[in-house]
Amino acid sequence: MGNKKAKFIDYYDNGIEKEDVLPDESQYDFLLHRNYGYMDHTALSFYSRKVTYRELHQKIDEYARTLFSLGVRQGDKVGVCLLNTPEGVFTLYGLSKLGAIVVGLSPLNNVYKMKIDLDISRPKVVIVSEPLFPLLDEAIGAAETTSIFVLPIIMEDGEHTVADGSKNIDLVALVEKEKLHEVEYEVYEPNAITDILFTGGSTGVHKGVDLIGNGLNCVVKALDHVLILKPGMIHLGNIPMAHMAFGRLVLHYALCKNLEYALTLDMLPNKFLDEIIRTRANGAMGGPVHWEALIDDKRLKTSDVSFLIQALSGGEQFKAENRIAANGALKSAGCKVGIGDGLGLTETWAPTHVCMDGKNTPGTIGYPIPFVSAIIVDPQTFQVLPNEKEGLLLISGPGVMAQYHENEEETKKAFFFDASGTKWYNTGDIAMRKDNGEFVYIGRKKRNFVCGVDNIYPEQIESLLLQMDDILEAAVTKVPDQKMQYLPKYHLFVKDNSCDKEALERNIRKLVASTLGESACPGYIEYTAGPLPRTDNGKINFSLLEGN
């Protein structure tokens, strides 16, 4: 257990100066210590299945011992491509108990993007939920350095289908068969890299993020002072938990708070209300697109969601008019709490600021959470700006990443050291600090945006388009969309403006969809008669393009 005390201003409690002990232990040990006294409470529910905290820790130990018997050791990189199932939870914490490095591989990847993530991280082993096995099998191919372990989906206690493929190990079956492997667990190493997640960061370059496990513990400890759910309450487990910092944070927060985490395979916005009602969730988190799906859902007028007392949005800026409409829809079903908002990044284990209904001004991102420092600086000089001035948002705190994985160039761009030696992460976001300590999010200095539930990185699309012989120049901007948040708009300068544009656009969509996914395909295409507009220094003038 940690004994380092940290002082902070608790803006969520009338700005009182407080002191709390920062944890200093593995994710698993932090969870275990927080669960003492609650071992008979329900930890996980998965449709008809229920798992108590006592059973959770028993399973975690069994999975850790089995993985050890398969050769997983402290410091080994283990890829996980998992759905939200109890077996996925056992696996994640079993790896933490062994001291392995978890590499979060997105189940939303196509084969092209999966190969990129595997090439960046080069895991020794990959553990995959059975429905996702074909994706990983094709992405890994004939690689001899990576083994695949498969996790079947078990909807209720009992038998399960053995995974296909004689070379692939059914991990669940092996755990059930052999439970007595002796393991001498390694000594916890402070500041060790425990997780590699993937992001475009502030520059749009796809890369791995090296995260410290105890940083996640510190963020969870900070949320003790912010969020309101009590042990025994239910939290919806809809956010993908294995590859997203947001999802890992929600999982760890819920279990360390001794809640019942109601896992679901239905993650998409059109199932959000169904799962809230089915699980009777007291807490739910989603992106704006999840909450916006409630606006026109007529079922809310005849439903009762008065049990929902903590509702939070994250992942992208929540437009004011949509937040008001979603709150109105929830209120019509008896919900007495408004949807909170905030700011979070993969590089900081998700939340840095939280806007809580009743404690913060709607439309702000709220205050920095405890243990997090946030400043606004001039984007050119990095001098700290006074309140009420827009500038670049920098973050410092125990949840900040160690570095970008094996990418010194991008790491150097991401950090700034002030005169006192404090290390600040450059978010690439423009924000403003109000006189009352709240922060207002202005926009992204970086160019990436969200379409539906997917992050879109314009630089990736542009690089792909320029591989096509017919295209001389390409730029991608975003266009607001009521349903999808934003749609990509392609600005193209082509060799022959009289070419068959329908054929060209078919080829563009085929190329982009097969590599970057359907969400990266154009919502709009604009052709220019000449080269794209440039700034005085010769760069494409995106401000001018976005004004079109």
Question: Per-residue pLDDT tens for 101-120?
Answer: 999 999 988 888 899 999 99
**Burial group, residue 146, by CB count within 10 angstroms (0-12, 13-18, 19+):** middle
Separation in Å, CA 179 to CA 76, 80, 183: 22, 22, 11
* Cβ-based neighbours of 544, under 8 Å, separated by 6 or more: 533
Q: Which of 405, 426, 445 is the last residue of a domain?
A: 445
Instruction: Say what the pLDDT of residue 541 is.
Output: 76
Half-sphere exposure of 182 (CA within 13 A, CB side): 0
What CATH number does the domain containing 439 carry? 3.40.50.12780
| Whether residue 462 sits in one domain with residue 490 | yes
What CATH number does the domain containing 507 carry? 3.30.300.30
- Supply the DSSP string of 119-186, one letter for each residue: HHH--SEEEEEGGGHHHHHHHHTT-SS-EEEEE---SSSS--PPPS-TTSEEHHHHHHH-------PP
Whether 220 maps to a domain, the answer reads no
Q: Which of 396, 413, 445 is the last residue of a domain?
A: 445
What mean pLDDT do residues 444-459 have? 78
Separation in Å, CA 418 to CA 273, 380, 404: 46, 14, 20
Structure tokens at 355: 């806007």
Number of domains in the chain: 2
| Whether residue 425 sits in one domain with residue 396 | yes
Instruction: Report yes or no: 312 and 354 within 8 Å, Cβ to Cβ.
Output: yes
| Whether residue 189 sits in one domain with residue 95 | yes
Vertex 349, ends 346 and 354: CA angle to 5°?
Answer: 100
Whether 16 maps to a domain, the answer reads no
3-class DSSP state for residue 456?
strand
| Whether residue 184 sits in one domain with residue 40 | yes
pLDDT (tens digit, 9 = 90+) per residue, 139-153? 987 555 678 888 888
* Cβ-based neighbours of 270, under 8 Å, separated by 6 or more: 293
* 443 pLDDT more than 80: no
| Whether residue 197 sits in one domain with residue 57 | yes
348 DSSP 8-state letter: G
Whether 234 maps to a domain, the answer reads no
Whether 179 maps to a domain, the answer reads yes
pLDDT (tens digit, 9 = 90+) per residue, 488-540? 999 999 988 889 999 999 999 999 999 888 999 999 999 998 888 875 445 57
Q: For 54-58, 181-185, 193-197, which range has the lowest pLDDT when averaged over its residues?
A: 181-185
Average pLDDT, the chain: 89
Q: Which of 445, 464, 499 is the last residue of a domain?
A: 445
Q: Which carries the bigger pLDDT value, residue 315 or residue 514?
A: 514
Instruction: Say what the pLDDT of residue 205 is.
Output: 72
Q: What percent of the chain has pLDDT over 90?
A: 64
Task: List the domain range (segments joined by +) for residue 157.
Answer: 26-212+372-445
Gap between the Cα atoms of 431 and 389, Å rounded: 8
Among residues 178, 141, 145, 175, which one has the least CA distance to residue 160?
175
Residue 449, strand partner residues: 456
Gap between the Cα atoms of 477 and 489, Å rounded: 5
| Whether residue 143 sits in one domain with residue 59 | yes
| Buried-state track 257-282, b at ≥16 Cβ within 10 A, e below 16 | bbbbbbbbbebebebbbebbbebebb
Q: What percent of the chain has pLDDT over 70?
A: 93
| Whether residue 542 sits in one domain with residue 407 | no
**Burial group, residue 468, by CB count within 10 angstroms (0-12, 13-18, 19+):** middle
Structure tokens at 449: 């945006």
Gap between the Cα atoms of 420 and 124, Å rounded: 40
Half-sphere exposure of 217 (CA within 13 A, CB side): 23
Whether 171 maps to a domain, the answer reads yes
| Whether residue 109 sits in one domain with residue 92 | yes
Instruction: Report yes or no: 416 and 394 within 8 Å, Cβ to Cβ.
Output: yes
| Whether residue 136 sits in one domain with residue 103 | yes
| Whether residue 472 sits in one domain with residue 435 | no
Instruction: Say what the pLDDT of residue 503 is.
Output: 94
Instruction: Say what the pLDDT of residue 112 is.
Output: 85
* 166 pLDDT more than 60: no
| Whether residue 480 sits in one domain with residue 394 | no
Separate counts of helices (H) and strands (E) for the chain: 15, 29
How much helix, strand and coil, in percent to the nearest 5, is found in the chain? 30, 30, 40
Whether 539 maps to a domain, the answer reads yes
Half-sphere exposure of 398 (CA within 13 A, CB side): 26
| Whether residue 181 sits in one domain with residue 47 | yes
Whether 157 maps to a domain, the answer reads yes
Instruction: Say what the pLDDT of residue 536 is.
Output: 46
Whether 152 maps to a domain, the answer reads yes
* Cβ-based neighbours of 174, under 8 Å, separated by 6 or more: 66, 70
